[in-house]
Chain A
Amino acid sequence: MSETLPILKIGDTLLVALQGDLDDAAVVRIEEQLTQEVARVHAAGVLIDVSGLTVVDSFIARVLARVVAMIRLLGAQTVVVGISPAVAITLVELGVPMGHLDTALNAEQGLALLRRLRAAADHGSDR
């Protein structure tokens, strides 16, 4: 996957859908690209859809957690959506800690969660 990652911007929210079978270099490239895009467009929220990923192993999961932390440092909130039941079962059995990520079942619920997170952040009570 050498092409650039398509990132949609709707209002002040970025939407990105990860797809296919990613090698480590592609995952790291996505991390950089997404972080830079958040800063460039002053995004307030990011929705990362992982439903198109065939596998989420410990490396991909760790990079996901890392990019969420980076985006938080830039002042934006991130919600990860589309973790399939098979991937959820696998990640928990593998022992990858993902509990601190904000996740939702699908994009619609993810956007609703982003709104709630941002409202909480605006009230100065960022969890």
Chain B
Amino acid sequence: MTAGLAHPAVRTVEIATEADLIRVRQALRAASEQAGLGLVDSTKLITAGSELTRNILTYATGGRGTLSVEQVRALGRNGVRGTFTDSGPGIPDVDAALTDGFSTGGSLGLGLPGSRRLVDELTVATSPSGTTVTVVKWGR
């Protein structure tokens, strides 16, 4: 994200403790309302954000990361994009991590595959120095 000046609607949430789960949900809810997402779509987006935040708290180095939330618009539709970034060790096998039931953290392994089902777009960019998961939810 280059600047909050060019995109005044960009909201950033630091993810460091599980109390930040609530701030992540609030930021996504506010953006969903601004974009005019319906209740089901915003609930899905907020829940996906909750799962991805917990991923960061569980896997990233020191359990730290950042969420950037912004409005997006394409083909006459409004949407919300959430970008979850951490500087953790990266995901060795992204395909496996996107598969149901795969988990190295002892959870149900619903984080990435479950979140992907809840949003319209989910992309993962990962390297040994960090991971960025981007999700987009479009209004109808």
Inter-chain contacts of A109 with B (CB < 8 A): none
Chain B proximity of A62: nearest CB distance (Å): 7
Interface of B is mostly: helix
Inter-chain contacts of B40 with A (CB < 8 A): 85-86, 89-90
Q: Which of B1-47 contact A (CB under 8 A)?
A: 18-19, 21-22, 25-26, 29, 39-40, 43-44, 46-47
Question: Is residue B63 within 8 Å, beta carbon to beta carbon, of the partner chain?
Answer: no
Interface of A is mostly: helix
Inter-chain contacts of B107 with A (CB < 8 A): 58
The total of chain B residues at the interface (CB under 8 A) is 27
Chain B proximity of A19: nearest CB distance (Å): 13
- Which of these, A54, A87, A93, contacts B29 with CB under 8 Å? A54
Instruction: State the CA gap A56–B50 with chains docked (Å).
Output: 9
Question: Is residue B73 within 8 Å, beta carbon to beta carbon, of the partner chain?
Answer: no
Q: Are A21 and B25 in contact (CB under 8 A)?
A: yes
Inter-chain contacts of B54 with A (CB < 8 A): 57, 59
The total of chain A residues at the interface (CB under 8 A) is 21
Inter-chain contacts of A12 with B (CB < 8 A): none
> Given A57-B51, A62-B108, are A93 and B118 neighbors across the interface (CB < 8 Å)?
yes
Q: Which B residues are within 8 Å of any A CB, using their own CB?
A: 18-19, 21-22, 25-26, 29, 39-40, 43-44, 46-48, 50-51, 54, 100, 107-108, 110-111, 113-115, 117-118
Q: Can you give 11 A-B contacts (C-beta < 8 A)?
A: A21-B26, A23-B19, A23-B22, A54-B46, A55-B46, A58-B111, A86-B40, A89-B44, A93-B114, A93-B118, A94-B47
Q: Which A residues are within 8 Å of any B CB, using their own CB?
A: 21, 23-25, 54-59, 62, 84-87, 89-90, 93-96
